[in-house]
């Protein structure tokens, strides 16, 4: 097996492990309040939940605000980072943006339908930003690696 093939297999395994962990956090983790008894909850107003958290940080706590903003971004960074390795194709920021948005849209919609979370447009925004930031990390790391070679 060639070095590139091993790397791609490892990337695919890492990607699958990431998707399993993401699924657990989005749909099953009691730590993040994932229960089927929640009912339908949604926010369709961009930046409303982010603004609410920042304005009322003393009431909701810094941890909530950090998890809501940084957590949603960080949760999708591996997606943007690993996807080019998995596909083995050169990608562009626009494609990563679309794929990250679509994955987030599917996750948010499933949370709403299954009543295991809230459909939040802010999460769509933050998750998409996370996917793009992950891809930019990939671009920087690959660019440095190629310069060394």
**36: in domain:** no
**50: in domain:** yes
**76: in domain:** yes
Q: Is the pLDDT of residue 111 over 80?
A: yes
What is the pTM assigned to this prediction? 0.90
At residue 47, φ and ψ (nearest 5 deg) are: 70, 5
Domain that holds residue 65: 3-29+41-148
Angle between helix axes 72-87 and 3-27 (nearest 10 degrees) is 150
- DSSP annotation string for the chain: --HHHHHHHHHHHHHHHHHHHHHHHHHT-GGGT--GGG---EE-STTHHHHHHHHTHHHH-HHHHHIIIIIHHHHHHHHHHHHHHHH-S---HHHHHHHHHHHHHHHHHHHHHHTSS-EEHHHHHHHHHHHHHHHHHHHHHHHHHHHH-
Share of the chain above pLDDT 70, in %: 94
**34: in domain:** no
**35: in domain:** no
**87: in domain:** yes
Q: Is the pLDDT of residue 72 over 70?
A: yes
- What is the per-residue pLDDT across 24-68, written as a single tens digit (0 to 9) for each? 998 888 776 666 666 678 899 999 999 999 999 999 999 989 989
**88: in domain:** yes
pLDDT recorded at residue 34:
63
**85: in domain:** yes
Give me the number of domains the chain comprises: 1
């Amino acid at each position: 097996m060639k070095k590139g093939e091993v790397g791609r297999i490892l990337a695919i395994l890492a990607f699958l492990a990431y998707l399993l962990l993401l699924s657990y956090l989005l749909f099953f983790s009691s730590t993040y309040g994932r229960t089927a008894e929640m009912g339908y909850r949604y926010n369709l107003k961009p930046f409303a939940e982010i603004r609410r958290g920042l304005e009322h940080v003393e009431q909701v706590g810094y941890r909530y605000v950090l998890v809501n903003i940084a957590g949603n971004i960080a949760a999708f960074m591996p997606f943007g980072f690993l996807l080019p390795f998995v596909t083995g194709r050169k990608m562009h920021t626009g494609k990563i943006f679309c794929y990250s948005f679509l994955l987030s849209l599917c996750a948010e919609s499933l949370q709403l339908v299954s009543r295991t979370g809230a459909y939040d447009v802010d999460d769509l925004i933050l998750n998409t930003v996370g996917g793009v930031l992950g891809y930019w990390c990939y671009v920087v790391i690959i660019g440095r690696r190629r310069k060394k070679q």
